[in-house]
Amino acid sequence: MSTRQCWRVNAPDVISETIDGETIILHLGNGFYFSAGGCGPAAWSLLSCSATVDDTAAALRQLYQTDGVDLEGELDRFIEELTSEGLLVPSDTPRSPTPEPAGAGPMPFVPPTLSKFTDMEDLLLLDPVHEVSPKQGWPYA
Amino acid sequence: MTSTTVSTSPEGGLLTTDGLAGSFRASAAGLSERWIAVAGRLVRIRVGSPRMLRLLEAFEHLSAPAAEADPGLTINVWDSPGRTPGPLPQEPPGAPRGLRMVWTGGSVQGCYQPGQDTLSVLDHGVGEAWFWCLNGADLPYWEHAAPFRLILNWWLAAQGAGLVHAAAIGRPAGGVLVVGKGGSGKSTTALLSLLGGMSYASDDYVIVERDIDGRGPHIHSAFGSAKLDGQQCSLFPSLDGALVNPDRQPEEKAVFLVNRFAPDQMMPSMPLLAILTPRITGQPTTSVRPGSSLAALAALAPSTIFQLPGAPATELRSMSEVVRSVPTYELALGTDFQEIPHHIDELIMALSVPDDRVRHP
């Protein structure tokens, strides 16, 4: 994976919210939802704002104790999960991450995790939300 | 009034708000008009077909006198057996049963459900909505229990409120949400609390308003109904007189009109004091202990958002703000059912707020 690659949230199908140190991510197009834990919420926050992989890794090194940690490998694996689930899509416009406020020092590193929940799938036999116009006609997914 | 294009069919035919209005007028034999107060806001419901009148039953506890001023929302309700109100979207080949086709266009949003032949359309610009079905006699039981859910949710979302998938019970001084997906114990908990003397707002969908005049989040009742499966029904024999679908199919839930069974216990509005996430334990005793905001949001948001499509993208953030603004608890449900309302009532008494937070619509 290119370290200059950047991503964005697959809006409007994907929405997320971070609470109690975990991020809940909903995919409105397929009815799956996810919980990101460990350093996943921080990585998700950075990646979803179109930070490059390089910049995301650099920002995580400021937040976590990463000596001896294969941070790039962990990040690659996490990004692979996020993209294969359609939560992130490639972006052409990299942006520098906003510096995190200085804390008490780097925290112990916890690898990013992504848990997938499929129990709502049946609730969402849903054609994704469309914009319609007289010119475009009734849209198909 | 300017007509707005709702959608265009693959053949090029236009479904417009004018077309919907015309279809409604053409079917409006025996027009019946009712006014209700939903979350303190006046809504006029105009029913054009006798077969659709039963949908009003869930709102009986919210009845309001007709007003001379325009309501915030008018919902036109009708059926037209054998003909549609205009060109409807075509179901994609191989579409799963229960597909919902949702769209937005300008000030209009809509949802067509081919499996049950229903169409919900709201024009935010003029505060008018249309709920059509092919034949009101064929409407599924859940539409009887909670009519016009999508329309009400879209309309309220623009006003800092919205439906959530939760039961709500309490006292006039305040109430709690019980959140979780189907089968988690919401309806049983709500009805046990009702029979225990508490106030009732909902067993399944309830309106939450993030803040009223700086007095914090509030719960508003929308539907005065309850749904139970066969096994649950045997727990509540006293509700039999409020059953509205005695001839239901085995796979269908029983629908009860709580607003007829216990009209004095229906609570149109109350401050939100806490959110409870139930867990069925199989043990005899019930307990309430502090829970995490994360667990509450995870139990509340996905089932709400997936079941009520078309809400704004900010809906998850709004729910998160509500969850953060009140304490959250895990409700470990025991098998001694009489204990359950007692524990909830104790919690509510401990969290109750001064009477000046109570909204009197």
Q: Tens-digit pLDDT profile for chain B (361 aa)?
A: 455 555 555 444 567 888 899 999 988 766 899 999 999 999 999 999 999 999 999 999 999 999 888 899 999 999 999 999 988 887 777 777 778 888 888 899 999 998 889 999 999 999 999 999 999 999 999 999 999 999 999 999 999 999 999 999 999 999 999 998 777 889 999 999 999 999 999 999 999 999 999 999 999 999 999 999 888 888 899 999 999 998 888 888 999 999 999 999 999 999 999 999 999 888 999 999 999 999 999 999 999 998 898 888 899 999 999 999 999 999 999 999 999 999 999 999 999 855 555 444 4
Contact B194, B200 (CB under 8 A): yes
| A20, A26, A122 ranked by CB distance to B316: nearest | A26
Question: What DSSP string describes B160-224?
Answer: TEEEEEEEEEEETTEEEEEE-STTSSHHHHHHHHHHTT-EEEESSEEEEES-STTS--EEE----
Please report the pLDDT score of residue B155 as a whole number.
97
Annotate B101-132 with b (16+ C-beta within 10 A) or e (fewer). bbbbbeebbbbbbbebbbbbbbbbebbbbbbb
Of the CATH numbers 1.10.10, 3.90.930, 1.10.1240, 2.30.29, which one belongs to the domain with range A6-123? 3.90.930
Confidence category of residue A49, pLDDT binned at 50, 70, 90: confident
**Structural contact between residues B53 and B30, judged by C-beta atoms closer than 8 angstroms:** no
| Same domain as B141, residue B65 | yes
3 state SS of A62: helix
Residue A127 is nearest to which of B10, B102, B181, comparing CB atoms?
B102
Cβ–Cβ below 8 Å for A125 and B181: no
Mean pLDDT, residues A93-102 taken together:
68
B115 and B222 assigned to the same domain: no
**B321 and B199 share a domain?**
yes
Q: What 3-state DSSP class applies to B104?
A: strand
Mutate one of B6, B305, B306, B322 to test the A interface: name it (highest A CB count within 10 A): B306
Q: Are residues B151 and B191 in the same domain?
A: no
- Which residue, B131, B157, B183, sits at the end of a domain? B157
Residue B329's DSSP bridge partners are B276, B290
Distances (CA, A) of A93 to A3, A48, A86: 14, 12, 19
**Which member of A31, A119, A132 has the closest CB to residue B105?**
A132
Q: Within this chain, do residues B196 and B334 fall inside the same structural domain, yes or no?
A: yes
**Tokens (6 digits) for B312:** 């704004």
Which alpha helices (H) appear in chain A, and where do they start and end? Answer: 40-47, 53-63, 71-84
Residue of B nearest to A137 (CA): B8
Domain end, chosen from B97, B126, B157, is at B157
Residues B187 and B321 in one domain: yes
Write the residue in B181, B298, B313 that is nearest to A24 by C-beta. Answer: B298
Taking CA B289 as the corner, what is the angle to CA B180 and CA B231, rounded to the nearest 5 degrees? 40
Are B145 and B206 found together in one domain? no
* pLDDT tens column, A60-92: 999 999 999 999 999 999 999 999 999 999 998
Cβ contact B339:B288 at 8 Å: no
> For residue B11, what is the nearest residue in chain A, using CA coordinates?
A137
pTM: predicted TM-score of the whole model, two decimal places: 0.90
Angle at the Cα of B97 from the Cα atoms of A138 and B243, rounded to 5 degrees: 115
Contacts of A134 in chain B (CB under 8 A): 5, 8, 14
Q: Can you tell me the distance from the alpha carbon of B348 to that of A44, in angstroms, rounded to the nearest whole number?
A: 38
Parse chain A into domains and list their residue ranges. 6-123
Considering only CB atoms, A120 lies closest to which of B5, B12, B306, namely B306
Of B8, B301, B309, the CB nearest to A138: B8
Residues shown for chain A = 141
Complex ipTM tops 0.85: no
Question: Does A99 score more than 80 pLDDT?
Answer: no
List the end-to-end C-alpha distance of chain A, in Å, as a whole number: 29
Residues in chain A with CB shorter than 8 Å from the CB of B319 are 17
**Contact between B121 and B6 (Cβ < 8 Å):** yes
Q: Do B305 and A28 touch (CB under 8 A)?
A: yes
Q: Chain B residue closest to A30 (CA)? A: B306
Q: CA separation (Å) from A116 to A15, A96, B3, B231?
A: 15, 29, 44, 31
Structural domain tally of chain B?
A: 2
Nearest residue in B to A133, CA atom: B105
For B237, residues 6+ apart whose C-beta sits below 8 A from its C-beta are none
Is the Cβ pair B302, A120 closer than 8 Å? yes
The Cα–Cα gap between A36 and A77 comes to 13
Is residue A97 scored above 50 in pLDDT? yes
Residues B122 and B185 in one domain: no
Asked if B306's CB is within 8 angstroms of A126's CB, the reply is yes
Answer yes or no: do B22 and B102 share one domain: yes
pLDDT of residue A103: 66
Question: What is the predicted pLDDT for the residue at B104?
Answer: 85
Interface of B with A (CB under 8 A): 5-10, 12, 14, 89-90, 92, 95-105, 181, 292-294, 297-298, 301-303, 305-307, 309-310, 313, 315-317, 319-320, 323-324
The residue that leads in pLDDT, A64 or A3, is A64
Are B215 and B281 within one domain? yes
Same domain, B61 and B195: no
Q: A34: pLDDT confidence band, cut at 50, 70 and 90? A: very high
Residues B127 and B207 in one domain: no
- Pairing type for strands B100-105 and B73-79 reads unpaired
Interatomic CA distance for residues A81 and A65, integer angstroms:
23
Bridge partners of residue B219, in order along the sequence? B208, B270
Domain with B85, as residue range(s), is 5-157
Q: Do B5 and A131 touch (CB under 8 A)?
A: no
- Contact flag B100-A125 (C-beta cutoff 8 Å): yes
Contact state of B7 with A15 under an 8 Å Cβ cutoff: no
Q: Cα B74 to the chain's mean position, in Å?
A: 17
* Integer Cα distance of A70 and B81 in angstroms: 65
Here the tokens at position A115 are 């848990």
Q: Does A116 touch chain B (CB under 8 A)?
A: no
